[in-house]
A and B are shown apart, each in its own frame.
Chain A
Amino acid sequence: MSLSEPGLDQRPPAIPDDEPSSGPDPDPAVLRTRGLQVWYGPSLALRNIDIAFPRHKITALIGPSGSGKSTLLRCFNRMNDLIPGARMEGEIRFDGELISGDGADPVALRRRIGMVFQKPNPFPKSIYNNIAWGARINGYRGDMDELVERSLRRAALWDEVKSKLHRSGLELSGGQQQRLCIARTLAVEPEVILMDEPCSALDPISTARVEDLMDDLKDEYTIVIVTHNMQQARRVSDMTACLMPDETAVGHRTGVLAEFSPTDVLFTNPRDQRTEAYITGRIG
């Protein structure tokens, strides 16, 4: 392979597995899965995923359609629970705490692991109430006006909407709506933000604004983003996981984790042949 730089192969893995480190945070990985498998009815959608997302970094999930990127993302806030027939096996730990299985409460979990969806889906309410609703249902007791302003500022939307906070959120442009959805997620103070192709419905300028925003947010939040756009994964992420459909599956599509590497390594010197074929455009 022509692009290969020998030095990169020797780079140590970004996350030392199970290695205790000094400091207040013993585990650098916020989310960690072990032997994660997901079924939709009788068909296996994800096989044996072991992955760990590093804290305050952006991790991109890429891969062709049907490779289970979104399914994997939706495991972390248990949104797959809502799909009839969906079943999860293996374990997921969030800050060391087990969040898979019947013992964990999805409602409590979803406040701490927020989600931004593919299509902007603001509530049919005012901009103010779009932000305030999530805080209110979670029993927020502080100054609501202040929270709304802070959330909108962090989502880089305040200056555009401060004069029309009581107008409907649906009056905003697509890109503004998506940033409103991000602000809404930030308002409940999550630790992790899951983004499911957040820019696929946006124009390039709005996309650039959301990407800038993600870069600002990673100081405080861990972000996991599913994207079909490999340029975007390259631009925004620190780590990239490439999922691939398993060729041996018959009649349905099963995703497996082909490679999980620092983004610059994965895109310049992929270890896995399928990853290489995918990122160079030969498959997918």
Chain B
Amino acid sequence: MSRGDALYHPNRRLRRSLGPFFGAACFLATLTGVVVLAVFLASIFFAALGGTVHPVWDSLGQAIRDFLTLMSRLITNRQSSNPAIAGFRVGLVGTLWLLGLVAVIGIPIGIGAGVFLEEYAPSGRLKRIIQTNISNLAGVPSIVYGILGLALFVRAFGAKGLALGPSLLAGAFTLGLLILPTIVITTQEALRAVPSSLRQAALALGATRWQVVSGHVLPAALPGIMTGAILGLSRVIGETAPLLMVGAAGSILRLPKGVLDRYTALPVEIYNYAKEPDRQFQMITAGGILILMLLLLTMNAAAIVIRNKFRRGR
């Protein structure tokens, strides 16, 4: 027995059991998300089938056929007060328009701002203030962006010539503004993750700052930047509140003809159907949510594929 033994109370059993206990707690926490998502998807799926109660395995083929018929109808039909023919076509097209416009407007500006702040801006008080502001903007509720978009883009503070009205462009500007902080911050984080040894190596060969950024830093940061951009766009798909503010009306029956045309979006239509008292509309609402989820999952999958592709390329 060594001299120190009297002073130590190893308590090994308790210490050993703490690890598995903590691990199990974390596992349960993980499970919560997965289980909730599974239950949610299953319930939406059954709601979309119009409350078919008989066991699925009895008529699985029939159930899947019913489901596909319903989904294709929802995609091809316009809005209607008759649940038998109601669909999401106009909203879906509007959402795809918004997605494209925001991708063209918001992403280049966000990436540009991120590159400037991280690679060019001299560090100092001004940069710190801008940085803090951007971080705060990322946390501003989306309805506030809706009000901003209404004043700035829809009405242009009353300037007649500049006001865009409740048009696709006004909606896209508003949503672009909404996801801008997210894109700026993810771009900055991706750039910061590029090792400084890479920058030094390039500079030491006589590269200018732009050559370093375009030749090495941006390519190395691209997977991270793309992930941020796609996650930002995923948010565009789901946002409802700011669109209600800037005039994505519920009852639009024709497809938008151009960027200055009126429009509606998928989540706005889902919201409107959900308000209907007729129980038949619950099925329509559930189908709309499934379309939305499908779009989101596709985009997230695209983000993962792009990231892996670029990582392998290195």
Q: A184 CA to B211 CA in the complex, in Å?
A: 16
B197-A111 in contact (CB<8A) = no
Q: A117 CA to B204 CA in the complex, in Å?
A: 10
Q: A170 CA to B195 CA in the complex, in Å?
A: 14
B211-A137 in contact (CB<8A) = yes
**A1 on the B face (CB < 8 A):** no
Residue of B200, B207, B314 touching A107 (CB-CB under 8 A): B207
A181-B220 in contact (CB<8A) = no
Size class of B's contact patch? 10 to 19
Docked complex: B201-226 residues within 8 A CB-CB of A: 201-208, 211, 215-216, 220
B205-A117 in contact (CB<8A) = no
Q: A134 CA to B207 CA in the complex, in Å?
A: 7
User: Which residues of the partner chain A approach B220 to less than 8 Å between Cβ atoms?
Assistant: 124
A111-B314 in contact (CB<8A) = no
Tell which of A117, A124, A168 has the most Cβ of chain B within 10 Å.
A124
Q: A137 CA to B208 CA in the complex, in Å?
A: 9
**A82 on the B face (CB < 8 A):** yes
A84-B123, A121-B198, A124-B314 known; A115 and B204 CB under 8 Å? yes
**A185 on the B face (CB < 8 A):** yes
A108-B205 in contact (CB<8A) = no
Docked complex: A123-178 residues within 8 A CB-CB of B: 123-124, 133-134, 137-138, 168, 170
**A119 on the B face (CB < 8 A):** yes
User: Which residues of the partner chain A approach B216 to less than 8 Å between Cβ atoms?
Assistant: 123-124
B204-A137 in contact (CB<8A) = no
Closest residue of chain B to A115 (Cβ to Cβ) is: B204
B205-A79 in contact (CB<8A) = no
**A270 on the B face (CB < 8 A):** no
Closest residue of chain B to A184 (Cβ to Cβ) is: B205
User: Which residues of the partner chain B approach A115 to less than 8 Å between Cβ atoms?
Assistant: 200, 204
B205-A111 in contact (CB<8A) = yes
Q: A109 CA to B208 CA in the complex, in Å?
A: 12
Q: From residue B126, how far is it (CB to closest CB) to chain A in Å?
A: 14
**A47 on the B face (CB < 8 A):** no
Could you tell me how many residues of chain A have their Cβ less than 8 Å away from some Cβ of chain B?
27
**A188 on the B face (CB < 8 A):** yes
**A54 on the B face (CB < 8 A):** no
**A28 on the B face (CB < 8 A):** no
Docked complex: B158-195 residues within 8 A CB-CB of A: 195
Residue of A114, A122, A124 touching B204 (CB-CB under 8 A): A114
B204-A77 in contact (CB<8A) = yes
Residue of A84, A119, A124, A138 touching B205 (CB-CB under 8 A): A138
A108-B200 in contact (CB<8A) = no
A84-B123, A121-B198, A123-B216 known; A111 and B203 CB under 8 Å? no
A137-B201 in contact (CB<8A) = no
A137-B211, A137-B215 known; A123 and B204 CB under 8 Å? no
A137-B197 in contact (CB<8A) = no
**A209 on the B face (CB < 8 A):** no
A123-B208 in contact (CB<8A) = no
Q: A134 CA to B177 CA in the complex, in Å?
A: 39
Residues of A within 8 A of B (CB): 77, 79, 82, 84, 107-111, 114-115, 117, 119, 121-124, 133-134, 137-138, 168, 170, 181, 184-185, 188
Residues of B within 8 A of A (CB): 123, 195, 197-198, 200-208, 211, 215-216, 220, 314
